[in-house]
Amino acid sequence: MIQSLKKIFQLALLLIFSTPLLAQDFYSTQKREQWLKIAEENQPKLIETIKHPVSLTNIIADPIAFQGYKANPNGKPEVLYTASLKKQSGTVLDFGEHLTGYFTFSLQTLKSTADAPVRLKFTFGEVPSEVAVPFDPYNGGLSRAWLQDEIVTVTEFPATITIPRRLAFRYVKVEVLGSSPYFDFALTDCFVKATTSVSTTPSPLASTTSELIAKVDKIGLNTLKECMQTVYEDGPKRDRRLWIGDLFLESQANIYSFKQHSLTKRCLYLLAGLAQEDGFLYCNVFETPKPHAQVGSPFLFDYSLLYNVALKDYLVATNDKQTANDLWPVAKRQMDNISKYLDVNGVFNAAQAAKDGWWLFVDWNEKLDRQAALQGIMIYSMKETLSLAKLLGKEKEVNQLPGLISKMSSGAKSQLFDKKLGLFTSGASRQVSYASQSWLILAGVVKDKEAQKVMKALQQYKDAVKPGAPYMYHFYVQALIDCGLTQDAKSIVENYWGGMVKKGADTFWEVYDPTNEQLSPYGFYPMNSYCHAWSCTSVYFIRKYPNIFQKE
Amino acid sequence: MIQSLKKIFQLALLLIFSTPLLAQDFYSTQKREQWLKIAEENQPKLIETIKHPVSLTNIIADPIAFQGYKANPNGKPEVLYTASLKKQSGTVLDFGEHLTGYFTFSLQTLKSTADAPVRLKFTFGEVPSEVAVPFDPYNGGLSRAWLQDEIVTVTEFPATITIPRRLAFRYVKVEVLGSSPYFDFALTDCFVKATTSVSTTPSPLASTTSELIAKVDKIGLNTLKECMQTVYEDGPKRDRRLWIGDLFLESQANIYSFKQHSLTKRCLYLLAGLAQEDGFLYCNVFETPKPHAQVGSPFLFDYSLLYNVALKDYLVATNDKQTANDLWPVAKRQMDNISKYLDVNGVFNAAQAAKDGWWLFVDWNEKLDRQAALQGIMIYSMKETLSLAKLLGKEKEVNQLPGLISKMSSGAKSQLFDKKLGLFTSGASRQVSYASQSWLILAGVVKDKEAQKVMKALQQYKDAVKPGAPYMYHFYVQALIDCGLTQDAKSIVENYWGGMVKKGADTFWEVYDPTNEQLSPYGFYPMNSYCHAWSCTSVYFIRKYPNIFQKE
């Protein structure tokens, strides 16, 4: 008896001391270190290419041009290089394509001797408006420092100077803010050491592909290439880091284009190694000065769920079971959130989750009610996670999923589907949105003809909340394809992504509302990223579903 | 006969082909290279010292403070270092003394994770007004880039960044121009790697020296120390290069203080090696990227004449005959300009020389007529050159000088001296100025009691054009001493240099008019150099004439 008491006491002690340790880190330090080491081993070598500007250009206010500004070619760069920069202050150089890298310029005296420093301003733009619209006074929501204008003091001639920060741009405006009246000088050269980790060339499209689709594909590839650096960045201008949502779409596009799967592997390991102590994932991580997560950022529920889908897709594409098995505990852990905010009907209580600090993203769209979309994402992720488990022979470890999938699907159908409208609604306001319908179709809550009916009703529903950005358009197109509305899918790719092409895009934009070109989630449209990972997925559609995108 | 003709022909050919060569370079390329090599061999090693700010300070508008701004200490730098920089944007750090060197700062996150770059502005000031007065819109005459404000984008945390340009300042204002709302950060450290080539300590002043004179001496020493880098710079903020006029005064001050004569040697050789092709001197030269003159700048006549005086002073101070002999051809050559613009009376035709492009500097004072002052400088320089020739046993090479000295002295007396006024006048307007009287006294055109009378008449003459800057004040004080008005000399040092001390100078200013603190030759007073070589000569007077500067 005393022996038993002693044992119980020992056990209690063990629990007391081991529980905080378990609570401190869901994965072991050793495991994390090993994951980060694998991430490091898979860091790609950047391919560096020297690129020179191809022309000078005039940025002209033009009400029918994208955002009201047009770039009109205006001679060769040599015109700038050989004459006084003082007299050409404000000149814009055009590199002819979107580039990401390090900008170097050279100055030489033209007349007399340099007797004073020179103050120059370089403004870099992905799109023409960025080198035309004044940045100050700045009232946007994100750091003013994202905007790519750099002021440089040159103290010695001749000079060759590299701006320290990495830049992403096609256009650069050069302004002289200060110079001596006693000498003259020229900007004699400039170039970019452009970087990407893409080293492969995707297979050519079928010759029957329309010109527009070929362009949409090419610009999607450029977008992806620019975002593929030492991680899948969201945008090389802004935020320049690895977000799960972008990783998910980039890795899908990569599977059907560059096939550089080791970058996906690196990113999956990086996110795992830097997960929260409770095992749930941070929505984004940084690489430098050493890999670290955005500690302090809110938990982004939908992104954590999409990690599992990216891991499953990676396994299917590569058959790399070692990685999938190694990271399985991370995927499994993400499922532990599913039932936290379900009501008796298996419907997600989004309002409460948001109130408790969860970030429900879904789309850049302030008006969007997220409940129904999250319901769909949860079911979709559970199904994909179950597939992953099956591929690894680990179904038993997630044996709660089939029941949850069933309950949540029924709940969605019974609680969120408005039979009269033939549409899913979301939240207390019973909002109808593209996001809700798309995600619940992707989740398979409705299928085939039933799903088609939903989509057709949606297109007729005047007040439906539309997608706010290419990220949500992706899932809408996927849902259209999944339910067989392939012509509608094609039409969206041609009109939405094709719309950007027609408006002069070199890479696809983070935010694009055809009816409001100055829309910005950040209060200032030059802050938007105009080369954004999540917008590259035209590549994925065109290459995964070639039959849909052939000429009729 | 044929033989003779052949010889004549050969001689003619030789002349034809050698004359252009001689005309191309008064000194041989070989000689110049040798001179530049000696200059390089005498380049001092810079002494580097790490200096931290001593306090935070409030810059307060105060009508009785110098230029209307006062620096009020406001706590320890640690107050800044340990709390949000965002909330302390605009803070001014005080390094407690004037420093020249490279500024480094460190940033660390305080809260959450850095998720965006930060845009900072650092404004460096030698005097409080420079960190208080807006620089833009800028309408000054010199390059805006001299003004010491630098905008830096910080892309990674923690960060330690050194601003590339060398700076000269006591105060630095730190402003946050852009930052993310999602994290906070602190400026956790900053320092200057201060440089000077001064490695010696001058002898202490006599204990009978007044407190004010001791301060004037100390600040003069600081000024000289800050300007003594790898050449005698005119000002470490602006223009940061070797001008003959500044070299002349700095080397005089150095002879009586730091005694680092090899720097003088270096500078004399540098100017010689970089002289114009016709053998006359450029008024200023630069060291980087390789030594070069300000080609294209006008010929500054008075400075070229003072080179000879600096060489003679150097010889007297060091007895380095090798250098003096080596550079004698340069000194001798400068004398060839003396007679170019003399009228029949031996009076300098300043108007014609200026019309032909010569720069007659004398002083920063637009109103000043330069004729009489130049007349004095020419005679003074000839006399000093003659002394130099005698020390080297080379009088015969400049046997034109005694006659010219005599003729020009008589000419000055007969043509420029107004017997009624008892003053020298200058130019067609018969202008009376401190510059004219001072230089003609320094030239010995009038001496002793006669000179004293001139000076006394000058002081009574209401409309006399006063010195515009310390450079001219120096020659005024020297003239007062030369003619025995030592109390007047002492009074100027106490009131003019002492006036800067009382107004808070850490180093002496390029321009100082007690009646107009915002006077600037450049149209914007923050452009003035507030640590300027030619203002350091209080050191020279106090140490060369200790008896004058003792307490009474």
| pLDDT digit string, tens, across residues A196-244 | 999 999 999 999 999 999 999 999 999 999 999 999 999 999 999 999 9
Instruction: Name the residue among A119, A150, A177 with its Cβ closest to that of B153.
Output: A150
| Contact list, A289 vs chain B (CB under 8 Å) | 156, 158
User: What is the predicted pLDDT for the residue at B243?
Assistant: 98
A117 to B145: CB separation less than 8 angstroms, yes or no: yes
Instruction: Name the residue among B113, B181, B288 with its Cβ closest to that of A292.
Output: B113
A177 to B239: CB separation less than 8 angstroms, yes or no: no
| Contact list, A239 vs chain B (CB under 8 Å) | 115-116
B422: tokens are 């008892």
Closest-CA residue of chain B to A241? B115
Q: Is the pLDDT of residue A417 over 80?
A: yes
Instruction: Name the residue among A117, A177, A294 with its Cβ closest to that of B115.
Output: A294
**C-beta separation of A475 from A435 below 8 A:** yes
Closest-CA residue of chain A to B161? A164
A389: tokens are 């488990």
A151 to B147: CB separation less than 8 angstroms, yes or no: no
B297 to A115: CB separation less than 8 angstroms, yes or no: yes
How far is residue B182's CA from residue A359's CA, in Å, rounded to a whole number? 14
Instruction: Name the residue among B116, B181, B296 with its Cβ closest to that of A146.
Output: B116
| Contact list, A141 vs chain B (CB under 8 Å) | 181
| Contact list, B154 vs chain A (CB under 8 Å) | 145
Q: How far away is chain B from the Cα of A284, in angstroms, using its nearest Cα?
A: 10
Other beta carbons less than 10 A from residue A316's beta carbon: 13
> How many CB pairs below 8 Å do chains A and B form together?
123
How far is residue B453's CA from residue A65's CA, in Å, rounded to a whole number? 80
Mutate to test the interface with A, among B143, B294, B524 (most CBs of A within 10 A): B143
| Contact list, B138 vs chain A (CB under 8 Å) | 178
Name residue A349's amino acid.
N
Q: How far away is chain B from the Cα of A372, in angstroms, using its nearest Cα?
A: 28
Closest-CA residue of chain A to B243? A115
CATH code for residues B47-196: 2.60.120.260
Instruction: Name the residue among A118, A146, A151 with its Cβ closest to that of B143.
Output: A118
Other beta carbons less than 10 A from residue B23's beta carbon: 10
How far is residue B290's CA from residue B273's CA, in Å, rounded to a whole number? 12
Q: CB-based contacts of A156: which residues, under 8 Å, 6+ apart?
A: A114, B288, B289
How far is residue B60's CA from residue B71's CA, in Å, rounded to a whole number? 6
Question: pTM for the complete prediction?
Answer: 0.94
Other beta carbons less than 10 A from residue B141's beta carbon: 12
Q: Is the pLDDT of residue A19 over 90?
A: no
| Contact list, A179 vs chain B (CB under 8 Å) | 143-145
Question: Residue B469: which of B539, B542, B541, B530 has the closest Cα?
Answer: B530
| Contact list, B113 vs chain A (CB under 8 Å) | 286, 292-297
A155 to B143: CB separation less than 8 angstroms, yes or no: no
B444: left (phi over 0), alpha (psi -120 to 50) or beta: left
Closest-CA residue of chain A to B182? A297
Which residue, chain included where needed, has tokens 């450049």? B522
How far is residue A330's CA from residue B249's CA, in Å, rounded to a whole number? 75
| Contact list, B230 vs chain A (CB under 8 Å) | none
A145 to B178: CB separation less than 8 angstroms, yes or no: yes
A219: tokens are 């610009």
User: What is the predicted pLDDT for the residue at B333?
Assistant: 98
Domain boundaries, chain B: 47-196, 211-544
B119 to A145: CB separation less than 8 angstroms, yes or no: yes
Q: CB-based contacts of A426: which residues, under 8 Å, 6+ apart?
A: A369, A370, A371, A372, A373, A416, A432, A433, A436
B144 to A182: CB separation less than 8 angstroms, yes or no: no
User: What is the predicted pLDDT for the residue at A7?
Assistant: 57
Say what percent of chain A tops pLDDT 90.
94
- Comparing A296 with A533, which gets the higher pLDDT? A533
| Contact list, B144 vs chain A (CB under 8 Å) | 119, 177-179
Q: CB-based contacts of A489: which residues, under 8 Å, 6+ apart?
A: A477, A480, A481, A541, A545, A548
Closest-CA residue of chain A to B146? A117
How far is residue A317's CA from residue B112's CA, in Å, rounded to a whole number? 37
| Contact list, A158 vs chain B (CB under 8 Å) | 289
Instruction: Name the residue among A111, A153, A238 with its Cβ closest to that of B145.
Output: A153
Name residue A240's amino acid.
R
Name the interface residues of A facing B (CB cutoff 8 Å). 111-113, 115-119, 138, 141-147, 150-151, 153-156, 158, 164-166, 177-183, 238-239, 241, 286, 288-289, 292-297
**C-beta separation of B381 from B306 below 8 A:** yes
A541: tokens are 């559609």
A288 to B156: CB separation less than 8 angstroms, yes or no: yes
Please give the order of strands across the beta sheet that includes B242-243. Answer: B242-243, B284-286, B292-293
**C-beta separation of B330 from B272 below 8 A:** yes
Closest-CA residue of chain B to A240? B116
DSSP string, B415-471: IIEETTTTEE-BTTTTB-BHHHHHHHHHTTSS-HHHHHHHHHHHHH-TTPBPP-SHH
| Contact list, B116 vs chain A (CB under 8 Å) | 142-143, 145-146, 238-239
**C-beta separation of A446 from A452 below 8 A:** no
- Residue B498: DSSP 8-state: H
Mean pLDDT, residues A424-449: 98
C-alpha of B136 from chain center: 27
A142 to B289: CB separation less than 8 angstroms, yes or no: no
Mutate to test the interface with A, among B103, B112, B113 (most CBs of A within 10 A): B113
A112: left (phi over 0), alpha (psi -120 to 50) or beta: left
Mean pLDDT, residues A102-115: 96
DSSP H or E run through A235:
none
Mutate to test the interface with A, among B102, B106, B115 (most CBs of A within 10 A): B115
Could you give the C-alpha distances from A296 to A293, A362, B184, in angstroms and in order? 9, 20, 11
User: What is the predicted pLDDT for the residue at B550?
Assistant: 82
Other beta carbons less than 10 A from residue B169's beta carbon: 26
**C-beta separation of B176 from B119 below 8 A:** yes
Question: Residue A156: which of B311, B291, B308, B199 has the closest Cα?
Answer: B291
Q: How far away is chain A from the Cα of B435, in angstroms, using its nearest Cα?
A: 27
Q: How far away is chain A from the Cα of B147, in angstroms, using its nearest Cα?
A: 9
| Contact list, B147 vs chain A (CB under 8 Å) | 178
Q: Is the pLDDT of residue A531 over 90?
A: yes
Closest-CA residue of chain B to A136? B177
How far is residue A245's CA from residue A488's CA, in Å, rounded to a whole number? 24
**Angle at alpha carbon of residue A457, lines to A305 and A408, rounded to 5°:** 30
DSSP string, A282-337: PSEEE-SSS-EE-TTSPPBHHHHHHHHHHHHHHHHHH--HHHHHHHHHHHHHHGGG
**C-beta separation of B443 from B383 below 8 A:** yes
| Contact list, A165 vs chain B (CB under 8 Å) | 117, 153, 155
Other beta carbons less than 10 A from residue A367's beta carbon: 11
**C-beta separation of A370 from A432 below 8 A:** no
Closest-CA residue of chain A to B118? A145
Q: How far away is chain B from the Cα of A114, in angstroms, using its nearest Cα?
A: 8
Instruction: Name the residue among A146, A158, A289 with its Cβ closest to that of B117.
Output: A146
| Contact list, B110 vs chain A (CB under 8 Å) | none
B113 to A143: CB separation less than 8 angstroms, yes or no: no
Query: Predicted confidence band at A18 (pLDDT cuts at 50, 70, 90)?
Result: very low
Per-residue pLDDT reduced to its tens digit, A306-354:
999 999 999 999 999 999 999 999 999 999 999 999 999 999 999 999 9
- What string of pLDDT tens digits covers the 552 residues of chain B? 444 545 555 544 444 444 444 457 999 999 999 999 999 999 999 999 999 999 999 999 999 999 999 999 999 999 999 999 999 999 999 999 999 999 999 999 998 999 999 999 999 999 999 999 999 999 999 999 999 999 999 999 999 999 999 999 999 999 999 999 999 999 999 999 999 999 999 999 999 999 999 999 999 999 999 999 999 999 999 999 999 999 999 999 999 999 999 999 999 999 999 999 999 999 999 999 999 999 988 999 999 999 999 999 999 999 999 999 999 999 999 999 999 999 999 999 999 999 999 999 999 999 999 999 999 999 999 999 999 999 999 999 999 999 999 999 999 999 999 999 999 999 999 999 999 999 999 999 999 999 999 999 999 999 999 999 999 999 999 999 999 999 999 999 999 999 999 999 999 999 999 999 999 999 999 999 999 999 999 999 999 999 999 866
Q: Is the pLDDT of residue A20 over 50?
A: no
Say what percent of chain A tops pLDDT 70.
95
Tally of residues, chain B: 552
Average pLDDT, chain A: 95
Other beta carbons less than 10 A from residue B514's beta carbon: 12
Does A47-196 match A211-544 in CATH topology?
no
B1: tokens are 């006969």
Fold observed for domain B211-544: Glycosyltransferase (1.50.10)
Buried/exposed A201-238: b ≥16 CB within 10 Å, e otherwise: ebeebeeebbebbbbbbbbbbbbbbbbbbbbbbbbbbb
Q: CB-based contacts of A207: which residues, under 8 Å, 6+ apart?
A: none
Question: Residue B362: which of B372, B370, B354 has the closest Cα?
Answer: B370
Q: How far away is chain A from the Cα of B418, in angstroms, using its nearest Cα?
A: 39
Q: Is the pLDDT of residue A9 over 80?
A: no
Instruction: Name the residue among A142, A178, A181 with its Cβ closest to that of B180.
Output: A142
